[in-house]
Amino acid sequence: MNAPPPRAAIALALGTIYLVWGSTYLGIRVAVETMPPFLMAGARFLVAGGLLFAFLKLRGAPAPSAHQWRANTVIGAFLLLGGNGCVVWAEQFVPSGLTALLIGVGPLCLVLTEWAWPGGLRPTARTTAALLLGFAGVVWLAAPWQDFAQGGLHLGGVLAILGGCVCWSLGSTTSRHSKHGASPAMASALQMLGGGALLLLAAALHGDFIRVDFATISARAWGAFAYLVVIGSLVGFSTFVWLMKHCPPAHVSTFAYVNPIVAVILGWLILDEPITARTLVASAVIVTAVVLITLEQHKVSPARECR
């Protein structure tokens, strides 16, 4: 049996997706200012997957089997077409505060999906309580009541985000339990290639290829796109796939609570958005929940710890 990775590696990987995926909120917002959403998302993952696949082949990695292609394309469909695609589409209609709140349902959904999976991990009462505490912190941070006060609710957008959370949970759990035999790096490449291709198909059906005018895409949008490819996908997504193979879902899913805090801090640093007392209190609640979840994972039996 392979030795479990050191806790320092786990901490570094978690810190990576906390920071990287927290920053992609801003990157996506900038990119879709002048890029059609599905086309941007599909090209992002297809380019990232192609680069990673080429790198692995140059390093002598064996060619993936047909089974590995099929298995990881299905996972990529759940994670990227369903999970990422639904959210990218919905962000055209749903305010950012409500979006952050709805995505905060993700960790709870992921833990329930893992519990329902044959042989999956059952969450402890303390883990469940900490997850609910984290969700409460996201509610307070997102302040969705401000969005409600500003106008109507786009039901289709809300349902799309919730559907995206379900798809992401199904894809994450399938990835964790899949026995396709590909390395985490190759699995990441195949999932990004498969999911990216499906997102481009969605872009074609959505009319993105007809509407796009490359001459009007701004330099900052191209810069954001490059950041999303290299940092958001090559670094962030590959790290997430590795973590799902080694850690309990409740532990990994804490990124959905921390990412909004990172997004708020970056908005303050880059866009001069204000940080209020509510933001500080909500952030403290979220950090407390993440610490409780992490400590609980260290108390449980070896079969449930990061491995």
In a domain, 170, yes or no: yes
Task: Return the pLDDT at 205.
Answer: 94
Largest CA distance in the chain: 57
**Mean per-residue pLDDT, 9-15:** 92
In a domain, 41, yes or no: yes
Each residue of 209-223: pLDDT tens digit?
999 999 999 999 999
Please check the confidence at residue 302 and state whether its pLDDT lies above 50. no
Residue 1's pLDDT band, with cuts at 50, 70 and 90, is very low
CA distance 200 to 203: 5
In a domain, 1, yes or no: no
Helix axes of 155-177 and 238-246: crossing angle, nearest 10 degrees: 60
Task: Return the pLDDT at 2.
Answer: 60
Alpha helices by DSSP H, listed for the chain, are 7-31, 37-58, 66-76, 85-90, 96-103, 106-116, 125-142, 144-150, 155-177, 184-206, 208-211, 219-227, 238-246, 249-252, 255-271, 277-299
Greater pLDDT, 190 or 110:
190
Q: Are 87 and 99 in contact (CB under 8 A)?
A: yes
Tell which residue, 298, 305, 246, has the closest CA to residue 5: 246
Q: Say whether 251 sits in a helix, a strand or coil.
A: helix
Please check the confidence at residue 6 and state whether its pLDDT lies above 90. no
Q: Which two tokens stand for residue 21?
A: 């995926």
Each residue of 199-208: pLDDT tens digit?
999 999 999 9
**What predicted TM-score, i.e. pTM, was given to this entire model?**
0.83
Q: Give Cβ neighbours of residue 12 (< 8 Å, ≥ 6 apart).
A: none
Among 9-23, 94-108, 176-190, 219-233, which stretch is predicted with the lowest mean pLDDT?
Answer: 94-108
CA 209, chain centre distance (Å):
25
Give the number of C-alpha atoms closer than 13 A to the C-alpha of residue 154, restricted to the C-beta side.
17
Among 66-70, 71-75, 114-118, 209-213, which stretch is predicted with the lowest mean pLDDT?
Answer: 114-118
Among 48-52, 252-256, 296-300, 301-305, which stretch is predicted with the lowest mean pLDDT?
Answer: 301-305
The domain total for the chain is 1
Task: Return the pLDDT at 168.
Answer: 92
Mean pLDDT over each residue of the chain, to the nearest integer: 84
In a domain, 58, yes or no: yes
In a domain, 306, yes or no: no
Q: What percent of the chain has pLDDT over 90?
A: 41
- What is the amino acid identity at position 152? G
Cβ of 67: how many Cβ atoms within 10 Å? 12
Length of the chain: 307
Task: Return the pLDDT at 130.
Answer: 81
CA 143, chain centre distance (Å):
21
In a domain, 125, yes or no: yes
CA distances to 48, 123, 177, 243, 289 from 249, in Å: 25, 9, 11, 9, 15
In a domain, 189, yes or no: yes
Please check the confidence at residue 63 and state whether its pLDDT lies above 80. yes
Task: Return the pLDDT at 176.
Answer: 85
Domain that holds residue 176: 7-299
In a domain, 305, yes or no: no
